Amino acid sequence: MARIVITRALPEAGIAALRRRHEVHVHDLGPHTGGDEDGLIAAAREAEALISMLDNPLTARVIEACPRLRVIAQYAVGYDNIDLEAARARGIVVTHTPGVLTDATADFTFALLLALARRLPEAERYVREGRFRRWETMLLLGMELRDKTLGIVGLGRIGAAVARRALAFGMRVVYHSRHRANPTVERMAAARYVSMDELLATSDVVSLHCPLNEQSRHLIDARALAKMKPTALLINTARGPVVDEAALVEALRAGRIAGAALDVYEREPEVHPGLLELDRVVLAPHLASATVETRTEMASMCARAVLAVLDGEEKIPYRLV
Per-block average pLDDT, block size 10, for the chain (321 residues)? Answer: 97 98 95 85 97 96 98 95 97 97 97 98 98 98 98 97 98 97 96 98 98 95 98 98 98 98 95 97 97 98 98 98 96
Catalytic residue among 27, 239, 272, 295: 239
Report pLDDT for 31.
76
The answer to the question of residue 320 being in a domain is no
> Are residues 277 and 295 located together in one domain of the fold?
no
> Are residues 89 and 117 located together in one domain of the fold?
no
Q: What is the per-residue DSSP string for 155-216?
A: -SHHHHHHHHHHHHTT-EEEEE-SSPPPHHHHHHHTEEE--HHHHHHH-SEEEE-PPPSTTT
Whats the size of the chain, residue-wise? Answer: 321
Is residue 96 part of the annotated active site? The answer reads no
The answer to the question of residue 109 being in a domain is yes
> Are residues 187 and 150 located together in one domain of the fold?
yes
The domain total for the chain is 2
Alpha carbons 255 and 70: distance in angstroms, whole number = 52
Among 135, 157, 153, 236, which residue's Cα sits nearest to residue 199? 153
Report pLDDT for 32.
73
The answer to the question of residue 263 being in a domain is yes
> Are residues 116 and 37 located together in one domain of the fold?
no
The whole domain housing 122 covers 102-283
The answer to the question of residue 318 being in a domain is no
> Are residues 149 and 51 located together in one domain of the fold?
no
> Are residues 118 and 168 located together in one domain of the fold?
yes
Is residue 268 part of the annotated active site? The answer reads yes
The answer to the question of residue 316 being in a domain is no
The answer to the question of residue 317 being in a domain is no
Residue 31: is the preceding peptide bond cis (ω within 30°)?
no
The answer to the question of residue 315 being in a domain is no
Among 88, 155, 165, 136, which residue's Cα sits nearest to residue 321? 88
CATH value at residue 51: 3.40.50.720
> Are residues 137 and 250 located together in one domain of the fold?
yes
Is residue 266 part of the annotated active site? The answer reads no
CB 290 within 8 A of CB 104: yes
CB 114 within 8 A of CB 93: no
In angstroms, the first-to-last Cα distance of the chain is 24
CA 208-280-253 angle, 5° bins: 95
> Are residues 160 and 264 located together in one domain of the fold?
yes
> Are residues 124 and 190 located together in one domain of the fold?
yes
The answer to the question of residue 39 being in a domain is yes
Q: What is the pTM (predicted TM-score) of this model?
A: 0.93
> Are residues 48 and 116 located together in one domain of the fold?
no
Report pLDDT for 35.
79
> Are residues 172 and 84 located together in one domain of the fold?
no
Catalytic residue among 48, 245, 268, 297: 268
> Are residues 276 and 163 located together in one domain of the fold?
yes
Collapsing DSSP to helix, strand or coil, 273 comes out as: helix
Catalytic residue among 164, 172, 217, 286: 286
Report pLDDT for 287.
98
Report pLDDT for 181.
96
Collapsing DSSP to helix, strand or coil, 309 comes out as: helix
